[in-house]
Amino acid sequence: MATVLITGGTGFIGSYVGATFEQEGHDVVAFDVSPGQEILDRLGIGDAVTIRRGDVTDPTAVLRAVRETDTTHIVHLASLLTNGAQKNPRLAQEVNIGGTNAVFEAARICDAQIERVAWASSAAVYAPPDRYDGWVDEDALIYPDTLYGATKAYNEHQARLYSSEYGCSLVGLRPTVAYGPYRETGGSAFLTELIERPALDESFSVEYGDQIIDWQYVKDIATAFRLATLTDESELTQAVYNVRGECATIRTAAEMVESIVPNATIEVSDSGELPWTQQLDMSAIQNDMGYEPAYDLEAGITAYVSVLREQHGLDPL
């Protein structure tokens, strides 16, 4: 069994990643600058996870956490997201680039101890969608148009160097939009309201109706990170992998919510423009790691709505 240290481990995705490891019997350490146990408790693993307060931008704190917990694998998720990076570019450099370097350095220094670092890149490394023709694979042009995407692109370069120069086992994933219970922050957090408000019998209005989103249910993303952490090196052909869910328009998702939730009222317009419309080819992670999403859009929305209604004491669907 592994001991997995997860940076950003009490956040939205981090908590689900911790749950997927804990459910398989691995030891989980949640490393977070502002740890809170609420999501872990809701997932039923609050008592099973070791929570350690620490700042990923402090290399000594990261290294000490690795050594003192006998960590064998790291999942690095701690990051300033798109809006936060735009508002505070200097902090974005410190957290997204410096924090990732601190994790890679810990892996280099503790090379006999750390078997693998699975880390979060992003589909934001790609250029705007009009630069591509059809599905986008890992060999396509990366040319980000956000600071957040630029930090992730830099991290892909430093990951390759740490792998080639120091022999670190590093696997990056490029997810897109995560949705599911307990998400509260991030530039795509408005998508939660598209599901949550109707689920709680409230009306909702949303823009971007004709635009495509890659809907990735959070449990599927957690599974992808578990596979990236534990898949044998001999099976891997990429330094970084695309990972996606189901590509569908905002309008399609709204109609799905209305079909699942009785009396749901959602008003959809086509105004506004979203940056998250790349459609990712993920055949590499399917072939190398056997990854297959367990939740299509209908299953993901149904699971999400069911959790919310139970949480608020409403009748099940």
Residue 40 in any domain: the answer is: yes
Q: Are residues 167 and 258 in the same domain?
A: no
Q: Which residue segment(s) compose the domain that 156 sits in?
A: 3-177+217-242
Q: Are residues 249 and 198 in the same domain?
A: yes
The pLDDT score that the predictor gives to residue 157 is: 98
pLDDT category, 191, cuts 50, 70, 90? Answer: confident
Backbone angles phi, psi at 246, to 5 degrees: -115, 125
Residue 149 in any domain: the answer is: yes
Residue 250 in any domain: the answer is: yes
The pLDDT score that the predictor gives to residue 177 is: 87
Q: Are residues 62 and 86 in the same domain?
A: yes
The secondary element (H helix, E strand) that includes residue 253 is: helix 250-260
pTM above 0.85, yes or no: yes
**How far is residue 95's CA from residue 92's CA, in Å, rounded to a whole number?**
5
CATH of the domain at 95: 3.40.50.720
The pLDDT score that the predictor gives to residue 120 is: 98
CATH of the domain at 268: 3.90.25.10
The pLDDT score that the predictor gives to residue 276 is: 64
The pLDDT score that the predictor gives to residue 300 is: 97
Q: Are residues 97 and 193 in the same domain?
A: no
Q: Are residues 141 and 226 in the same domain?
A: yes
Q: Has residue 187 got a pLDDT over 70?
A: no
Residue 72 in any domain: the answer is: yes
- Quick check: 174 and 120 in contact, CB under 8 A? no
Q: Are residues 107 and 69 in the same domain?
A: yes
230-283 confidence digits (pLDDT tens): 999 999 999 999 999 999 999 999 999 999 998 899 999 999 887 666 789 999
Q: Which of 117, 126, 173 is nearest to 148 (CA)?
A: 126
The pLDDT score that the predictor gives to residue 138 is: 97
The pLDDT score that the predictor gives to residue 293 is: 97
Least confident of 178-187, 218-227, 282-291: 178-187
* Average per-residue pLDDT for the chain: 94
Residue 288 in any domain: the answer is: no
The pLDDT score that the predictor gives to residue 14 is: 97
Q: Are residues 28 and 149 in the same domain?
A: yes
Boundary of a domain, candidates 227, 242, 257: 242
Residue 155 in any domain: the answer is: yes
Residue 317 in any domain: the answer is: no
**How far is residue 249's CA from residue 209's CA, in Å, rounded to a whole number?**
6
Average pLDDT (74-83) is: 94
Q: Are residues 149 and 205 in the same domain?
A: no
Q: Among 125-129, 152-156, 205-209, which range has the highest average pLDDT?
A: 152-156
The pLDDT score that the predictor gives to residue 92 is: 96
> Based on the structure, what is the number of domains in the chain?
2
Q: Are residues 95 and 189 in the same domain?
A: no
